[in-house]
Amino acid sequence: MALLFLKQKLFPGRPPQSTQPSYRKLLLATGEDDDSDTLTNGNGSMDHDMEAQQCRSYRTFRAPSPSSNYDAESTSSNTRSRINPRIVSDAILGLSDGLTVPFALSAGLSALGNTKVVVLGGLAELAAGAISMGLGGYVGAKSEAESYQTTIRETTELIDSSPAETAGIVHDIFAAHGVPDDAIAPINASLHASPDRLREFLIHFHHKESEPDCNQAWTSAITLALGYFIGGFIPLIPYFVVQKVFVALYCSVAVMAVTLLVFGYIKTGVVRGWVGKENILAGVRGGIQMVVVGGVAAGAAIGLVRLINGDS
């Protein structure tokens, strides 16, 4: 004890060494620094070099490694990945028309009192309607692609013929967002130094168009056609099972009421979201709206067929 007391008085700067192994690490030290600054004494105990620890810059969190950056980017990209909104829009449009138009037709044909007529007429309308919807989607997507190519051609001609006008357009785009003129000038010069970059900028921010997918025409055609056929086949199912036409009609009405309600709710949930009281109420309203639309269409078809058949 006396020797320890004298040692502390003579060497106050050095702390007394513990006879027990010390495996304690500083709370904020990184694992790499711990390995490089650890010394082993003759007794086998682990003591940190205090001077190296004082010079060390501690960090509460480790610096991300390249692999962790890659994982974070891939994870964030996966969480942000969503279905193409154009596909969702085409599917909703195809199902909406398929659930209402063939249902109204089958309900109207039921007034004739012949199940075979309802089935044949419904299948014929399904085939014609699906082909028509598919062709409409294909032609519409092709028109969008042609419009985009026309925009590229006109923008290229504008860049070649009137640099002053393109400079004014770029200036107006940034000035509308409150960017000062002294900051717009170098940006304008940088864009005009590359015609390709200037053309891309004008297409995206002036014309507000984006390059369509090369397969968008076929995707829209198939999505619309399948959506229409699937939606229109549902009200015909009872007519394949039940022989009496009016019983099949009532079954079809019940099936379509549930289907339209569910579809309206799902359609609204896809567009607005699923969580929250407002979204749930909006989904219920969307389902009721689809039921009302389908019911009005079916009632109008039945009344029209009865009116024409009665007159004949």
All residues at 6 or more sequence positions from 64 whose CB lies less than 8 Å from its CB, including other chains: 72
Q: Looking at the domain assignment, is residue 45 inside a domain?
A: no
CB atoms inside a 10 Å sphere around CB 309: 12
pLDDT on residue 222: 92
On whether the CB atoms of residues 248 and 239 are closer than 8 A, the answer is: yes
pLDDT on residue 25: 42
179-220: per-residue pLDDT in tens? 888 898 999 899 889 889 999 999 999 888 888 777 888 888
> What's the full length of the chain, in residues?
312
192/199 Cα distance (integer angstroms): 9
Give me the residue label for tokens 């996966």.
Answer: 78
Q: Looking at the domain assignment, is residue 109 inside a domain?
A: yes
All residues at 6 or more sequence positions from 18 whose CB lies less than 8 Å from its CB, including other chains: 45
Domain count, the chain: 1
Q: Looking at the domain assignment, is residue 68 inside a domain?
A: no
Q: Looking at the domain assignment, is residue 24 inside a domain?
A: no
Q: Looking at the domain assignment, is residue 98 inside a domain?
A: yes
Confidence of residue 95 (pLDDT cuts 50, 70, 90): confident
108/300 Cα distance (integer angstroms): 8
134-178: per-residue pLDDT in tens? 998 899 888 888 888 999 999 999 999 988 899 999 999 999 988
Q: Looking at the domain assignment, is residue 234 inside a domain?
A: yes
Task: Report residue 133 as tokens.
Answer: 């919807």
Question: What range does the domain containing 185 cover?
Answer: 87-311
pLDDT on residue 293: 83
11-61: per-residue pLDDT in tens? 555 544 444 444 444 433 444 444 444 444 444 444 444 444 444 444 433
Q: Looking at the domain assignment, is residue 32 inside a domain?
A: no
* pLDDT over threshold 80, residue 2: no
Q: Looking at the domain assignment, is residue 23 inside a domain?
A: no
